[in-house]
Amino acid sequence: MNKIVHLSQLIESELNTIQFPSSPENLYDPLTYFFSIGGKRLRPVLTLLSAELGGTDKKEAISCALAIEIFHNFSLIHDDIMDDAPLRRGKVTVHEKWNSNIAILSGDVLLVKAYQLLSKQKAQHIPELLSLFNQTAIEVCEGQQMDMDFETREFVSVEEYIEMIRLKTSVLLGCALEFGFIVSENSLSNRKKIYEFGVNLGIAFQIQDDILDLYGDPEKVGKQVGGDVKSNKKTLLYLIAEKNATGELRAKLNEIKSELDLNLKIPAIQEIYEVLGVKKETKNYLDIYYQRAIDLLESIETDNDKTSIIEMIDVLFNREH
């Protein structure tokens, strides 16, 4: 655990060394602000852990780890505009504090900054890092578009939903991890395994996020529960409920969407979900992707210690040792 905290601090201090120019203020102040509000820095830590698992000093992977974190922050700034989100990590979002135009352009420059960091890696690794990064970045955009499309679509299947979260959030974990193996010049077979490990871990993590929104302990989760319920978001829970509901329950499920009082809406939804076996079925999906991730991690051929990566999984899933 100490190791993960240490790596996270290392990333934080490396991020602090990235000085944005002072001018134009309206382009760079939002970025300085956005990085000051913090974040868990999970993705770049995965890159460093993966580089070490691959047998290379973490210093060799710092720039591409930072590229991952900076890309992630770019996507948050633009997503916040699209979602019209007022807050991010409890602080005012960039487009609210400045305006949408400034958030668009600051985000753009941040995406380029990610490429700039990537290009600081050793020349012989750049083509492979770049190719994976490009593919990942495109997929993240595709996932965000699917997520927006789902909002107005009547029917979304479980498979479509999982494909959306794979693209929107999970491939970036795969990319973060494979970066460590590119830098440490691992075999293509191991690279594919650690990438898929990250993707499956990401899907499991996102499903857990859906479950915690309705069933989590607010103190442990660190945010108000019921946000998805309030906005009638098509989470995996909801899609499974819709798939299973017939007759009267289906009518109830539709009716409850318009309930404005969350103190009535949440228990009512929990009751419907209980009858429909929604939590259990969702948990099954989580377990499937979680187990796939674990199996993939185990299949990676190396003499190096996997303990730190396993500890990182525990951090992600809030599991105690």
The residues binding a second copy (CB under 8 A) are 21, 24, 26-27, 78, 81-82, 100-102, 104-105, 107-109, 111-113, 115-116, 119, 123, 126-127, 130-131, 133-134, 137-138, 141-142, 144-146, 148-149
* Cβ distance to a second copy smaller for residue 233 or 279: 233
Amino acid making up residue 258: S
**Rounded least distance, CB 163 to a second copy, Å:** 10
Percentage helix, strand, coil for the chain under 3-state DSSP, each rounded to 5 = 75, 0, 20
What is the DSSP track for 37-83? Answer: T----HHHHHHHHHHHHTTS-GGGGHHHHHHHHHHHHHHHHHHHHHT
> If you count them, how many residues does the chain have?
321
Q: In terms of CB distance, is 125 or 193 closer to a second copy?
A: 125
> Smallest distance, Å, CB 49 to a second copy?
26
Tell me how far, at minimum, the Cβ of 166 lies from a second copy, in Å: 14
Q: Which is nearer to a second copy, 111 or 266 (CB)?
A: 111
Nearest by Cα to 139 from 227, 64, 80, 198: 198
Q: Which is nearer to a second copy, 107 or 216 (CB)?
A: 107
Shortest reach from residue 281's CB to a second copy, in Å: 27
- Rounded (5°) CA angle 277-281-287: 150
- Cβ proximity to a second copy: between 100 and 244 the closer is 100
| Backbone φ, ψ for residue 216 (5° rounding) | -80, 160
21 or 90: CB nearest a second copy:
21
**Closest separation in Å from C-beta 35 to a second copy:** 17
| Least gap, CB of 140 to a second copy (angstroms) | 9
Residues 118, 124, 125, 129: what is their CA dihedral angle, to the nearest 10 degrees? 70
Residue 319: phi and psi, rounded to 5, are: -100, 140
> Residue 290: enclosing H or E segment and its boundaries?
helix 278-299
